[in-house]
A and B are shown apart, each in its own frame.
Chain A
Amino acid sequence: MATVAQNTATLAHVEEHEHHEPQSFWRKYVFSEDHKTIAKQYLISGIFWSVIGISLSVMFRLQLGFPDMKLGFLRPILGSWIDETGKLDPDFYLALVTMHGTIMVFFVLTAGLSGTFSNFLIPLQVGARDMASGFLNMLSYWFFFLASVVMFVSLFFETGPAAGGWVVYPPLSALPQAHKGSEAGMTYWLVSMALFIVSQLLGGINYITTVINLRTRGMSFSKLPLTVWAFFLTAVLGLISFPVLLSAALLLIFDRSFGTSFYLSEIFIGGEALPNVGGSPILFQHLFWFLGHPEVYIVLLPALGMTSEIIATNARKPIFGYRAMIASMMGIAFLAFIVWAHHMFVTGMNPFLGSIFMFLTLIIAVPSAVKAFNYITTLWRGNIRFTPAMLFSIGLVSFFISGGLTGLILGNSALDIQLHDTYFVVAHFHLVMGAASAFGLLAGVYHWFPKMFGRMMNDKLGYIHFWFTFIGIYLVFFPMHYIGIAGFPRRYYAFTSYDFTKHIFSDMNSFITIAAVFTFAAQWIFVWNFVYSIFKGKKAPQNPWKSNTLEWTAPINPGHGNWPGEIPAVYRWPYDYSKPGAKDDFIPQNVPYSQTPESNLPHENELIGLEKEIEAQNLNDQFKQPH
């Protein structure tokens, strides 16, 4: 539709758009096609899920940290999963671990992070009226909502939710007789994930289309904020990898319900030999990790993108190495697809294949290192304002470094033999992808809250929230490295069965649990601040962080179409902070070079001639398209 030529009909359409009939409550707040409302729906769903996901982890941390503790007080919530002696049921322990992983990875850090900010920021930052298809966007959220309902219902089954680990490896997940969690809970898990994938694909197509087609006048790819670059590459990753997970899930559904043998072979269980032969459990692992590894970057890249924006804004400096940042994100996005088998070094996969994947995996460390160095250099000689968003972004960089470094060890197949599936792995990925992405999410909320709700969050509470969370997360995950080096396997209900785990580190495990409870408690500061500020927060100014990107040129409470009248045109990159000669320490993207002769660099003066041309373009305003 963007290719339709302008004609006289455009005028009529402009007028048509001036007066919209008021929308009903349902269309405005529930089944809304407005990207800003959908973003808020994603955000609030994400916060809801994160509360559940983290609560589950606190429950199993209690079991691990205080194995003798009487958990009878949890019986009102967990019912018979707490036995008569007040002990957590081992089957339910695995269900907790599984649901914690599933919820945090997919429902919080994929939907809650990427869903919220891709939706909210892409149209506002590229200068579009809305997403390419508001209807698909709405469908995307409601498919996610449906997936959420199905997953939530499964938590209350008598046999419990899925419990084979978030990776749901068959045959455990394929055979109801193997485990309680492989009964109805697993069926619901698969249905929920299938719906979730549909939602991701609808969202992803929209993000990609919007970035490619609906950029405003002058917004070339080389002027896109790094946030949009990150969302764009994330959407591409998701669009390519999620269908593979769908196929893995479908084949598993067939194996479970229709007697096929894609993943099953030579199994004797429950006193009988099953007829299935010829399948391979390794096939599932390949399919799963073909999504599973890009998924790590699907949750991390948006966080890194937002961090780039927030650090540059609050350091009052251009992001260091804008092009290198884009190149390294592209490198990461590409490599993300060819490293999946490093999760499978000791599954019996051909060792030669292991060597190949080790080489590819360690290459990915190079672009990651470049990104980390660029963040640090951006801080160097800045003029840093520690807004809560800035604090969380600095925290993210610290987690990204600390957790990323151990990836060099785990990506080395020879060292992975000993460390695979130990707490070392748990520590590694929780820091580098879990905590880092969560910090990206929090930073994003603090930074763009004024744009979302027209009010400010309380800074002081934000500071306290940051310091408690930052310290808390390090106290939880740093000691896990030690436990991992001592060989403690993950997903263990108790460490009492083995001499090598029996009498050691019980105090360390208690410490971790205390730190986890503390960190969880600190999150309520955020929840309170968030909810309170929506209604009672201080009114936001037009551009509270003195930022350059386009969203701050929209009204404080942007309405349908984001900008009244013309969409602003873009003349410069988004990182003109503290430019020598300029009167302010920031120059927004919509300020033409002709207005800033005092600060223009020589090659920028040459661009002044092109401004007329940019202004004359008018291809992408949806309000001016016949529809």
Chain B
Amino acid sequence: MVYIIALLSVIFLGLAALVVSRMAAVVKNVNGPVEEERVGYSNRINGALFLIFLVFGLVGVIWSFAHASNYFLPEASSPHGRRTDFLFWLSMGIITVAFFITNALLFVFSFRYQYRPGRKASYYPENHKLELIWTVIPAIVMALLVFTGWRAWRDIMSEAPADAQVVELVGKQFNWIARYPGVDNNKLGAYNYKLIDNNNDTGIDFSDPASFDDFTSTTELHIPVNKPVLLKIRARDVLHSVFIPHMRVKMDAVPGMPTRFWFVADKTTDQMRNELGNQDFGYEIACTEVCGRGHFSMRIRLIVEDEESWKKWCAEQKPLLTSYPEYASRIPANLKAKAAKYLPAEETATPSDSTTASTQQGGGVSVATTSLR
């Protein structure tokens, strides 16, 4: 790369020197009438430079593409991603052809039709047939691209299948929190942003029985392979955006407006490691909506594994209620029995003891919640 930079700069400096020296010669004859000087030698140099630019430009574009393509993302790990990738490269092919043809015409015409003494330009103000042709052809190509793109978009944005594994991803400054629906009911419990505190960082509302087995993680998001996964996305403070580059997934996280994106990951992390020959490979999730100082480092790892080991991993995780039994105080009396299995034994026996010790805002918050309902 360094050599290329050096090479290019040498070429351009050379060209520049050429221009300058040629022009210096012309400048000597400044005394001539303005018009003669303008359409003189420098006109030919500029014309030739367009041609040179075209040739070097072509070489540069092709070479740099070949060089850069080593670092493009590997094949998508999701079926919808491979579909959009195909459409991307199809569109790219079409526009590359147009790019080469139009730029070549522009520069070749500039060179070919530069000023010649005695020649007169042709008076050619319009041609309706030509205009029609180059209105209709782009329109047809565009229609083709739009139609294929629209079908892909419709399928990607369709409702998630009913059996999709639901996972919640919550963005905050500056990390992601993954919340799982737990092992017992595959249902995310309700939440309320006013219930957020240091331990309950997604604001789980424990008056909803579905929330008892929910657990969270801030370092890893585990999902099963070959199974539709529905990401429920929200943000706690400012806008964020979930970006999973290898899955071709992106969706903003908006405070106050939950969003979602469903996809199927069809290559486990291990499969990708073997495929790429890189044992350190890992899927990652990034943030692509500017969110403040730490925007560039909101990383959470994504681990795709087969369903069996995924289930096993889930079973090993502790529900939030188990980790912080003091939240039991927020459980309505009629549901206490249901929550019992997630709480340590003595906790269920004497729930009132720990109430006072629970988080500072516990009481106030439950009032707030009820008033919100």
Which residue of B has the minimal Cβ distance to A172? B238
A497-B296 in contact given A414-B84, A460-B27 (Cβ < 8 Å): yes
A134 touches B (CB below 8 Å): no
Instruction: Find out whether the CB atom of A415 lies under 8 angstroms from the CB atom of B293.
Output: no
A614 touches B (CB below 8 Å): no
Query: In the complex, what residues of A have CB within 8 A of residue B294's CB?
Result: 90
Instruction: Find out whether the CB atom of A405 lies under 8 angstroms from the CB atom of B95.
Output: yes
B50 touches A (CB below 8 Å): yes
C-alpha spacing A460/B42, complex, angstroms: 8
A296 touches B (CB below 8 Å): no
**Chain-A contact segment, one of B97-105, B161-169, B326-334:** B97-105
Give residues 467-507 of A contacting B (CB, 8 Å). Answer: 467-468, 470-471, 474-475, 478-479, 482-483, 485-487, 489-495, 497-500, 504-505, 507
A268-B47 in contact given A359-B146, A499-B282 (Cβ < 8 Å): no
Query: In the complex, what residues of B have CB within 8 A of residue A315's CB?
Result: 113, 121
Query: In the complex, what residues of A have CB within 8 A of residue B321's CB?
Result: none
Instruction: Find out whether the CB atom of B126 lies under 8 angstroms from the CB atom of A324.
Output: yes
**Chain-A contact segment, one of B152-160, B304-312, B341-349:** B152-160
Query: In the complex, what residues of B have CB within 8 A of residue A320's CB?
Result: 124-127
Query: In the complex, what residues of B have CB within 8 A of residue A486's CB?
Result: 68, 71-73
Interface residues on A, range: 35 or more
Instruction: Find out whether the CB atom of B68 lies under 8 angstroms from the CB atom of A467.
Output: no
A386-B46 in contact given A175-B238, A489-B243 (Cβ < 8 Å): yes
Query: In the complex, what residues of A have CB within 8 A of residue B50's CB?
Result: 394
Query: In the complex, what residues of A have CB within 8 A of residue B255's CB?
Result: 171, 264-267, 281
Instruction: Find out whether the CB atom of A459 lies under 8 angstroms from the CB atom of B42.
Output: yes
How many residues belonging to B are interface residues under a CB distance threshold of 8 Å?
Answer: 123
A474-B124 in contact given A355-B150, A500-B246 (Cβ < 8 Å): no
Instruction: Find out whether the CB atom of B154 lies under 8 angstroms from the CB atom of A281.
Output: no
A379 touches B (CB below 8 Å): yes
B227 touches A (CB below 8 Å): no
A408-B124 in contact given A384-B115, A414-B156, A487-B73 (Cβ < 8 Å): no
C-alpha spacing A382/B122, complex, angstroms: 6
Give residues 521-542 of A contacting B (CB, 8 Å). Answer: 538, 541
A417 touches B (CB below 8 Å): yes
Q: In angstroms, how far is the closest chain B Cβ from the Cβ of A324?
A: 5
Q: In angstroms, how far is the closest chain B Cβ from the Cβ of A223?
A: 13
Choose among A179, A362, A386, A415 the residue that contacts B114 (Cβ–Cβ < 8 A): A386
B1 touches A (CB below 8 Å): yes
A373 touches B (CB below 8 Å): yes
C-alpha spacing A35/B237, complex, angstroms: 48
Instruction: Find out whether the CB atom of B106 lies under 8 angstroms from the CB atom of A398.
Output: yes
C-alpha spacing A206/B214, complex, angstroms: 63
Instruction: Find out whether the CB atom of A370 lies under 8 angstroms from the CB atom of B131.
Output: yes
Instruction: Find out whether the CB atom of A412 lies under 8 angstroms from the CB atom of B106.
Output: no
A415-B87 in contact given A91-B293, A346-B251, A384-B47 (Cβ < 8 Å): yes
Interface SS of B by simple majority: helix
A397 touches B (CB below 8 Å): yes
Q: When A and B form their complex, what is the total count of cross-chain residue pairs whose Cβ atoms lie within 8 Å? A: 365
**Chain-B contact segment, one of A37-45, A187-195, A418-426, A590-598:** A418-426
Per-position binary interface string of chain B over residues 124-150, scored 1 when its CB falls under 8 Å from any chain A CB and 0 otherwise: 111100110011001100100110011
A346-B241 in contact given A279-B256, A408-B91, A585-B120 (Cβ < 8 Å): yes
B53 touches A (CB below 8 Å): yes
**Chain-B contact segment, one of A286-294, A298-306, A572-580:** A572-580
Query: In the complex, what residues of B have CB within 8 A of residue A346's CB?
Result: 241, 250-252
C-alpha spacing A544/B38, complex, angstroms: 10
B313 touches A (CB below 8 Å): no
A386-B252 in contact given A365-B138, A514-B5, A544-B34 (Cβ < 8 Å): no
C-alpha spacing A320/B293, complex, angstroms: 51
**Chain-A contact segment, one of B12-20, B179-187, B205-213, B215-223:** B12-20
Q: In angstroms, how far is the closest chain A Cβ from the Cβ of B328?
A: 22
Which residue of A has the minimal Cβ distance to B122? A381
C-alpha spacing A315/B291, complex, angstroms: 50
Which residue of A has the minimal Cβ distance to B252? A347
C-alpha spacing A163/B14, complex, angstroms: 41
Choose among B2, B19, B250 the residue that contacts A463 (Cβ–Cβ < 8 A): B19
A369 touches B (CB below 8 Å): yes
Instruction: Find out whether the CB atom of A90 lies under 8 angstroms from the CB atom of B38.
Output: no
A406 touches B (CB below 8 Å): yes
A376-B105 in contact given A383-B116, A499-B280 (Cβ < 8 Å): yes
B363 touches A (CB below 8 Å): no
Query: In the complex, what residues of A have CB within 8 A of residue B246's CB?
Result: 500
Instruction: Find out whether the CB atom of B26 lies under 8 angstroms from the CB atom of A577.
Output: no
Query: In the complex, what residues of A have CB within 8 A of residue B95's CB?
Result: 405-406, 408-409
Query: In the complex, what residues of A have CB within 8 A of residue B85's CB?
Result: 418
Interchain Cβ contacts under 8 Å between A and B, 9 examples: A266-B256, A347-B252, A366-B135, A370-B134, A372-B102, A401-B98, A414-B149, A421-B250, A494-B296
Extra contacts, 17 of them, besides A382-B121, A467-B16 (Cβ < 8 A), are A169-B239, A169-B289, A172-B292, A178-B238, A318-B124, A322-B126, A347-B259, A366-B139, A373-B130, A379-B110, A385-B115, A398-B107, A418-B84, A418-B85, A463-B42, A478-B61, A494-B297
B→A interface (CB under 8 Å): 1-2, 5, 8, 12, 15-16, 19-20, 23, 26-27, 34, 38-39, 42-43, 45-47, 49-50, 53, 57, 60-61, 64-65, 68-69, 71-73, 81, 83-85, 87-88, 91-92, 94-95, 98-99, 102-103, 105-107, 109-110, 113-116, 119-127, 130-131, 134-135, 138-139, 142, 145-146, 149-150, 152-154, 156-157, 172-173, 193-194, 196, 203, 233, 236-239, 241, 243, 245-246, 248-252, 254-257, 259, 280-282, 284, 286-297, 299
Shortest 10 CB-CB contacts between residues of A and residues of B = A265-B256, A351-B157, A348-B259, A482-B68, A386-B46, A497-B297, A507-B1, A412-B149, A487-B245, A414-B152
